[in-house]
């Protein structure tokens, strides 16, 4: 996909979206699966891979670590050498936070990892202390040096009990992918339960790992000496499915979402139903219909199975045009609300106080130039533009490309007036 950092979307608001979309594999899963393939020598195959910029970045990173990565359609094959290199450089890591996911596999397989402190989205401080503390309890020596996390375990890792202070997705992933090759049993308490994390666990089980409790707050891992390559189909993207669900609700439309897993977004779908949408199951997904202006609803983001922080821009966008007043609380990333300033350029009536946004719904927003600051904020602004009178330009299209394959084309197929320039 050709994407330039100067690309923008131009949207003319006022269209009702109607039709069908298909959801690809989840970005937040596939990048972690690619990193975890480092755990076994030989060729692992990952299917249902979305065509997004971050997959290219992870491919570059794995190539630099000595792997050979090939793409064919929606399938990626990663051939991992006996002795991968152990350094993930800043120029790649800064582009994509998921690079940090090579940390656990490298320490476990090679006994050493040097991974630049990541950049990624501008949505908060996103620490690494749980990753580092957890690896230390598994017997690694870890510290931060010259902007890199350096972790060493030349004699291997040893199973232990870890309790996370917060169910961090990234920390659970790194510790799980390290513990699979540790000697003995590891338990991770207060573990993340996200479907993407479960997908990673199933990938590891496919490689021969012994893991119990996936999807629950306690994961138990019995280390094995060696893992083997596997062939895996990536779970579908619940955040993209959620984006389409909000697009239907906000534009008073009707969208059937093939591949959408309603069981992975129960809280979100309940909220949409409270706002007045009709949600029905279909053979391979679900359908969202809305026949009137949405009702305002209060939401607080929480770790899974709570309302996902990645959906925050959409719920705020919907409440901005909803009937009534609402409070939206962000409990995971303090800087997500940066997006609110852009939404206010479209006329949204929002006051932010700490991690609460107080929103007075108005019937319609009004088009203006705005800028995407991260993937979800960008997609959220595009949806808001759909319900704005007149024309809106959303700068920073490359942010949206990181998470949404062919977003403009899909919107146009549903009846939106969107061009990319």
Pair type for strands 391-395 and 369-371: parallel
Residue of 23, 245, 265, 332 that binds ligand UD1 (CB under 6 A): 332
Number of residues that bind ligand UD1 (CB under 6 A): 21
Pair type for strands 391-395 and 141-145: unpaired
Residue 128 Cβ, how far from ligand UD1 at the closest point, in Å?
5
Nearer to ligand UD1, 142 or 322 (CB): 142
State yes or no: residue 25 binds ligand UD1 (CB under 6 A): no
Residue showing tokens 């119990």: 212
Tokens of 207: 């490689």
Element (H, E) at 194: none
Residue of 194, 202, 237, 401 that binds ligand UD1 (CB under 6 A): 194
Task: Give the dihedral sign, CA 71/373/343/320.
Answer: positive
**Stretch 346-365 residues interacting with ligand UD1 (CB under 6 A):** none
Residue 334 Cβ, how far from ligand UD1 at the closest point, in Å?
7
Contact criterion met (CB below 8 Å) for 159 and 221: yes
Contact criterion met (CB below 8 Å) for 156 and 192: no
**Stretch 227-286 residues interacting with ligand UD1 (CB under 6 A):** none
Largest CA distance in the chain: 64
Residue 167 Cβ, how far from ligand UD1 at the closest point, in Å?
6
HEC profile of 142-188: EEEECCEEEEECCCCCECCEEECCCCCHHHHHHHHHHHCCCECEEEE
State yes or no: residue 300 binds ligand UD1 (CB under 6 A): no
Q: List, by residue number, the catalytic residues.
A: 121
From 247-255, 304-312, 363-371, 377-385, span contacting ligand UD1 (CB under 6 A): 304-312
Residue of 9, 246, 307, 333 that binds ligand UD1 (CB under 6 A): 333
Helices (H) and strands (E) in the chain — how many of each?
14, 26
Element (H, E) at 163: strand 161-163
Residue 165 Cβ, how far from ligand UD1 at the closest point, in Å?
7
Contact criterion met (CB below 8 Å) for 84 and 61: no
CA distance 240 to 219: 27
Nearer to ligand UD1, 261 or 293 (CB): 261
Nearer to ligand UD1, 200 or 383 (CB): 200
Sheet architecture: strand order including 42-47: 68-72, 75-80, 42-47, 231-233
Pair type for strands 185-189 and 218-222: antiparallel
Residue of 168, 236, 373, 393 that binds ligand UD1 (CB under 6 A): 168
Residues in contact with ligand UD1, shown as a per-residue x/- string from 99 to 138 under the rule CB under 6 A: -------------------------xxxxxxxx-------
Nearer to ligand UD1, 15 or 197 (CB): 197
Nearer to ligand UD1, 166 or 231 (CB): 166
**Stretch 169-188 residues interacting with ligand UD1 (CB under 6 A):** 169-171
Tokens of 294: 């949405």
Residue of 29, 160, 243, 309 that binds ligand UD1 (CB under 6 A): 309
Nearer to ligand UD1, 83 or 166 (CB): 166
**Stretch 55-84 residues interacting with ligand UD1 (CB under 6 A):** none
Tell which residue, 324, 339, 331, has the closest CA to residue 396.
Answer: 339
How far, in whole angstroms, is CA 146 from its chain's centroid?
28
State yes or no: residue 308 binds ligand UD1 (CB under 6 A): yes
Nearer to ligand UD1, 169 or 221 (CB): 169
Tell which residue, 94, 98, 81, has the closest CA to residue 38.
Answer: 81
Residues that bind ligand UD1 (CB under 6 A): 28, 124-131, 166, 168-171, 194, 303, 308-310, 332-333
């Amino acid at each position: 996909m050709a994407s330039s950092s100067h690309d923008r979307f131009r949207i003319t608001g006022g269209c009702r979206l109607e039709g069908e979309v298909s959801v690809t594999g989840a970005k937040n899963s596939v990048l972690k699966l690619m990193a975890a393939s480092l755990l076994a020598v030989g060729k692992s195959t990952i299917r249902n891979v979305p065509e997004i910029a971050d997959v290219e970045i992870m491919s570059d990173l794995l190539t630099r670590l000595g792997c050979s990565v090939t793409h064919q359609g929606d399938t990626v094959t990663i051939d991992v050498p006996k002795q991968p290199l152990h350094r993930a450089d800043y120029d790649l890591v800064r582009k994509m936070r998921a690079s940090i996911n090579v940390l656990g596999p490298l320490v476990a397989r090679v006994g050493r990892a040097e991974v630049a402190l990541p950049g990624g989205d501008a949505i908060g401080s996103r620490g690494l202390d749980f990753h580092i503390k957890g690896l230390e309890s598994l017997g690694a020596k870890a510290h931060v040096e010259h902007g890199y996390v350096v972790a060493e375990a030349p004699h291997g890792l040893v199973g232990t009990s870890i309790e996370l202070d917060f169910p961090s997705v990234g920390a659970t992933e790194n510790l799980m992918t390290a513990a699979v090759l540790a000697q003995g049993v590891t338990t991770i308490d207060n573990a993340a339960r996200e479907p993407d994390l479960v997908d990673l666990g199933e990938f590891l089980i496919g490689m021969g790992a012994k893991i119990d409790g996936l999807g629950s707050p306690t994961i138990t891992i019995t280390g094995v000496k060696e893992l083997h390559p596997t062939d895996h189909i990536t779970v579908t993207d619940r955040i993209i499915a959620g984006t389409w669900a909000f697009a239907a609700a906000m534009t008073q439309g009707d969208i059937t979402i093939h591949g959408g897993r309603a069981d992975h977004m129960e809280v979100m779908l309940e909220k949409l139903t409270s706002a007045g949408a009709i949600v029905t199951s279909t053979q391979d997904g679900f359908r969202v219909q809305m026949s009137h202006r949405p009702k305002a609803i209060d939401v607080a983001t929480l770790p899974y199975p709570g309302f996902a922080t990645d959906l925050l821009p959409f719920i705020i966008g919907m409440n901005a045009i909803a009937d009534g007043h609402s409070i939206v609380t962000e409990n995971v990333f303090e800087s997500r609300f940066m997006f609110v300033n852009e939404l206010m350029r479209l006329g949204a009536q929002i006051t932010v106080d700490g991690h609460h946004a107080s929103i007075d719904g108005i019937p319609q927003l009004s088009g203006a130039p705005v800028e995407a600051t991260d993937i979800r904020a960008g997609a959220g602004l595009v949806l808001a533009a759909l319900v704005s009178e007149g024309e809106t330009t959303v700068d920073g299209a490359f942010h949206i490309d990181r998470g949404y394959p062919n977003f403009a084309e899909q919107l146009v197929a549903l009846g939106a007036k969107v061009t990319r320039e």
